[in-house]
A = this chain, B = another copy of it.
Amino acid sequence: MHVLVCEDDELIASGIVAGLTAQGFTVERVATAGAARAMLRAATFDIMVLDLGLPDEDGLKLLQQQRSQGLEIPVLILTARDSVTNRVDGLQAGADDYLLKPFDLRELAARLQTLLRRVAGRRVNLIEHGRLAYDPSSRETFLGGQPVDLSRREQALLQALLHNKGRVLSSEQLKDSVYGFNDELESNALNVHIHHLRRKLGNGIVETVRGLGYRLGPADGGEDAP
């Protein structure tokens, strides 16, 4: 899922990018309406997150203009102003949903998922790997067809691994994708989560590369009990 985030505030933007990346989205971020326009021309996106208070141009203007040019992807508006007028204007201009700042990252992710599903109610991005299947949109994990209950951190971990099939991820990298970039964590919490993952999905899923980190096990082998 390709998301275009248009937000000028550095702090907020980095939060969004980190959060959505952790949720399995591929995120491009721009800070101005001009840049957004360029990005929209250059690539195709599945959904867009648009802040209204941009430096160079009113976000609504941008939206309206893009809509009139045939932009059809769902757009979620971020706004700090909480007046009714703005909300109405937003919907009128072609927004599909809105979120008032400050907002919860999980809330944002949830709304994006809902929007995506509304447009195309299918299971698009089911990630499969051997007996394992993961659906980011419903946040469901299946092992040999059976649903498996994973906690938030376990999911994040699994996603990071699935997104980098075959590659070795260092603890630092994993930490970045499971926690934000900011959080400091000085403990073996990651180890513990890896352990939980293995317990739930079988030992073959996560491979240890001593001294370097972890990587996803081979798709075929690595059954639970060999």
Question: Which A residues lie at the B interface, using CB under 8 A?
Answer: 84-85, 87-89, 91-92, 104, 106-107, 109-111, 113-114, 117, 138-139, 151-152, 164, 166-170, 172-173, 181-182, 209-213
Question: How far is B60's CA from A132's CA once the two chains are assembled, in angstroms?
Answer: 43
Report the Cα distance A156→B89, complex, angstroms.
27
Contact: A114 with B173, CB < 8 Å? yes
Between A and B, 8 residue pairs with Cβ closer than 8 Å are: A84-B182, A91-B113, A92-B106, A92-B109, A104-B172, A113-B167, A114-B164, A151-B210
Nearest residue, chain B, Cβ from A93: B110
Q: Is the CB of A139 within 8 A of B168?
A: yes
| Residues of B close to A85: CB separation below 8 A | 107
Bound complex: CA A106 to CA B168 (Å): 12
Chain B's closest residue to A151 (CB) is: B210
Does the CB pair B106–A170 fall under 8 Å? yes
Q: How far is the CA of A103 from the CA of B209 in the complex (A)?
A: 19
A89: B residues at CB distance < 8 A: 106, 110
Task: Specify which chain B residues have a CB less than 8 angstroms from the CB of A151 in the assembled complex.
Answer: 210
4 closest A-B pairs by CB: A88-B110, A110-B170, A92-B110, A91-B110
* Residues of B contacting A172 in the complex (Cβ-Cβ under 8 angstroms): 104, 107, 110
Closest Cβ of chain B: how far from A13's Cβ, in Å? 21
B87 touching A138 by the CB < 8 A rule? no
**In the docked arrangement, what's the CA distance between A164 and B115, Å?**
12
Whether A87 contacts B181 by the Cβ 8 Å rule is yes
